[in-house]
Amino acid sequence: MRPSRARPEERRPRGNPASDRARVSLALRGLRHRSTSAAELAAQVGLAPKRVLQVIDELARRGFVVEAHPHLGLRLVGAAAELDAEELACNLGTMRVGRRVRCVDQTTSTNDLAWEAAAGGPKEADGLAVLAEYQSAGRGRRGNRWLAPPGSSILCSVVVWVKRSPNQGAMLTRAAAVAAAEAVEGQASLAAGIRWPNDIVVEDRKVGGILVEARPVAGEMGPVVIGIGLNCTQDTEAFPAAIRSSAASLATFGTDVDRTLLARALLARMDEALARTADRPGEEEIHRRAAARCRTLGRRITLREGETTYEGDVVDLDFDYGLVLRLLEGGIRRFPAMTTQIVAQ
């Protein structure tokens, strides 16, 4: 049964973010189908065993399937498929990102909803994470469309207020890419890399992407929306034929990832990575982590800056997140992320 809605497309969290329901459901998800006793589960979540069993009955009405064995104990067989704001926010432990979480069934783009929220100012919107099951007009870099069947992906946008700088977009893209790659690796046990500047890749196939949007505002500080998409459960046929050989989901690699746990890991990693961008030493650390995952380093690529196309070998990733190429015609040249597009690699 679906939770009640405050308006047609939205599912609002009910009760305290650390509710009994959220704590028990997250504990069961964390067991990853292993069995536990009611007493052990109760001790883990700080509830009486009787209350745990009551909560499991409540979860069953939401689509959870928990198997009870007289000797082996409790085992999660199936969890509710939809992302739930209460679960995502429960004891998340972040300082900024995810302090407010909103989940909707459908929207044009989570970035659109994030911008609507940003109009309320930083007190209400800074750190807000908006997630959707489906986007009818999801956006990618350079006007590309982001397409994903309902319930198949992490579609998330985070609002943050930052100090304006010329290299702001590149810095935030780098931090978000590091966070997304680390979240995928931690939850899916897959070696996740970054294809410069904003693609998350596994075995050289794109499983996710980043889109950072800023708008002109008066003053030194202003809102930025960081959009993140991660393909989770799609099969190969879900992707358009033109990109089928280069795109993938985490399921493509045999991983049965829990979207709720992945989304929580993403928010936590985002919180940590964005906090690092507050000073130069932190930015340098994020740069090192991005460079270590950059799958574009060492490759021969063709890219376009303005109306001119260049070809060369990628020899470095500079601190401002620009590619450094040794051009085929000779010489070394730097290409900024915000004005450059890779056309072949």
60 in a domain, yes or no? yes
pLDDT category at 145 given cuts 50, 70, 90 is: low
Q: What are phi and psi of 82, to 5 degrees?
A: -75, 145
> pLDDT grade, residue 144 (50/70/90)?
low
Residue 333 lies in a domain: yes
Per-residue pLDDT, 166: 82
Average pLDDT of the segment spanning 318-342? 92
200 vs 246, more confident: 200
| pLDDT over threshold 60, residue 336 | yes
pLDDT (average), residues 303-320: 94
pLDDT tops 90 at residue 48 = yes
The fraction of the chain above a pLDDT of 90, given in percent, is: 76
pLDDT of 339 higher than 60: yes
Q: Answer whether residue 6 shows pLDDT above 70.
A: no
The number of folded domains in the chain is: 3
- Domain CATH code at residue 186: 3.30.930.10
- Backbone dihedral angles phi then psi of residue 187, each to the nearest 5 degrees: -95, -30
Do 187 and 269 lie in a common domain?
yes
pLDDT at residue 143, rounded to an integer = 54
Q: Kindly state whether residues 256 and 157 are assigned to the same domain.
A: yes
Which domain CATH number covers 50?
1.10.10.10
Reported as a single tens digit per residue, the pLDDT across 150-164 is 899 999 999 999 988
Q: Do 133 and 109 have their domain in common?
A: yes
Q: How confident is the model at residue 15 (pLDDT cuts 50, 70, 90)?
A: very low
Clarify whether residues 186 and 255 are in a common domain.
Answer: yes
Q: What is the average pLDDT across 335-344?
A: 88
Q: State yes or no: pLDDT of 7 exceeds 70.
A: no
In-domain check, residue 183: yes
Give the model's confidence band at 12: pLDDT under 50 very low, under 70 low, under 90 confident, else very high.
very low
Looking at the fold, whether 64 and 123 belong to one and the same domain comes out as no
Average pLDDT score over the chain: 90
Neighbours of 87 (CB within 10 A): 26
As a whole number, mean pLDDT of residues 66-87 equals: 91
Dihedral Cα 253, 235, 62, 31, nearest 10 deg: -10
Reported as a single tens digit per residue, the pLDDT across 119-140 is: 999 999 999 999 999 998 776 6
Of 192, 160, 175, 196, the closest CA to residue 286 belongs to 175
Alpha carbons 254 and 92: distance in angstroms, whole number? 27
Shared-domain flag, residues 113 and 136: yes
Model confidence pLDDT, tens digit, residues 247-278:
999 999 999 999 999 999 999 999 999 999 99
The pLDDT value given to residue 142: 54
What average pLDDT does the segment 326-335 reach?
Answer: 94
pLDDT confidence bin for 13, thresholds 50/70/90: very low
CA dihedral 137, 192, 104, 213 (to 10 degrees): -50
pLDDT at 146: 66
* Residue owning tokens 């064995």: 69
Say what the pLDDT of residue 18 is.
57
Is the confidence at residue 318, as pLDDT, over 70?
yes
Q: Which domain holds residue 326?
A: 300-344
The arithmetic mean of pLDDT across residues 272-287, rounded, is 95
pLDDT value, residue 70: 85
Please check whether residues 113 and 209 belong to one and the same domain: yes
Mean pLDDT confidence for 73-82: 92
- Please name the residue that has the structure tokens 């799958």: 295
Is residue 72 domain-shared with residue 121, that is, in the same domain?
Answer: no
- For residue 86, is it within any domain? no
Do 178 and 47 belong together in one domain?
Answer: no
The CATH number that applies at residue 333 is 2.30.30.100
309 and 255 belong to one structural domain: no
Among 49-53, 104-108, 148-152, the least confident range: 148-152
How confident is the model at residue 17, as a pLDDT? 36
